[in-house]
Copies of this chain bind each other. A is one copy, B any other.
Amino acid sequence: PTGLFLVAGPCLIENRQMAVAVATELDRIRQEEGISVIFKGSYRKANRSSASSYTGIGDREALEILCEIRDVFDMPVLTDVHETSDVELAASYVDVLQIPAFLSRQTELIVAAASTGLAINIKKGQFMAPEDMALAAEKAASTGNRKIMLTERGTTFGYHNLVVDYRGLPIMADSGWPVIFDATHSVQLPSASSGVSGGDRRFLMPLARAAVAAGVDGLFFEVHPEPSNAMSDAATQVPLDQFHAMVRELMQLQGCMQSIREAFHSPNQSEES
């Protein structure tokens, strides 16, 4: 066990065949590498840049595909909810409910999701300072839920651009909750080309390695059999056939980080002492 887990899957559950193809490959990777994987897939895109963007195949259809992946592969599945009214339906199909970054200040949504008792992943708003994520986690914890994860996915940096502040990883870890680095959305360029979000896949690995080295509990990637044909985030999803090599590289780095931690940081010592 490397002490690192993955959240991975397609941006959107576009159809059963694609979702199963991704899950099959993720299942193979976790068995060969011995890494935990949470399968990620949105059942509906509620916050597209433009009203004409594609939003999905239907809620129940998509959720049933997620549920099938959970059962067939014995793999936990995650999806995101956008309103409190989404929570009950989604919760009956998945293991982890995710709060989207734009919604990280919506108290009622966080509380509704956390009240299901399922694990909760709260993405840090593009407009939030990392220390403020402790307050978001407290909203979830106020329900008694202790399965809370916090995800970095970049901060507003001028227009149509995001920057990852790596100081935010140890700051969020101070809250005591596991911290995930979302490489896919961190390299996004919001609404950069006439209403469609772009991004640069080239920076995925440098930023993901930087996150492992700075210190992180999980990594989040969107993967797709053919990103150029994806219904969303075409610029930043990882081609499925390249993902295994990326995971191995990051696990090798994580192994090194564990040796470093053992050698240089005693367990009861904080980094600065």
Contacts and interface: CB of A to CB of B under 8 A. Distances in A.
Contacts of A48: 105, 107
Nearest to A142: B51
Nearest to A270: B202
A74 B260 CA distance: 31
Contacts of A83: 83-85, 108-109
Interface string A168-194: 011000000000000000010011000
A64 to B, nearest CB: 21
A256 B162 CA distance: 29
Contacts of A102: 102-103, 105-106, 125, 127
Contacts of A158: 157-159, 161
Interface string A37-57: 000000000111111010100
A259 interface: yes
Nearest to A163: B165
Interface stretch (A11-19, A204-212, A225-233): A204-212
A164 B155 CA distance: 12
Interface in A229-263: 245, 248-249, 252-253, 255-257, 259-260, 263
Give the one of A51, A85, A163, A245 with max B CB within 10 A.
Answer: A51
9 contacts: A49-B105, A50-B135, A83-B85, A167-B187, A167-B206, A170-B202, A209-B215, A245-B264, A256-B256
Interface of A: 46-51, 53, 55, 82-85, 102-103, 105-111, 125-129, 132, 135, 138-139, 142, 155-161, 163-167, 169-170, 187, 190-191, 195, 200-203, 205-207, 209-215, 245, 248-249, 252-253, 255-257, 259-260, 263-264, 271-272
The 8 closest A-B pairs by CB, nearest first: A158-B158, A213-B213, A256-B256, A210-B210, A129-B159, A51-B139, A156-B156, A209-B213
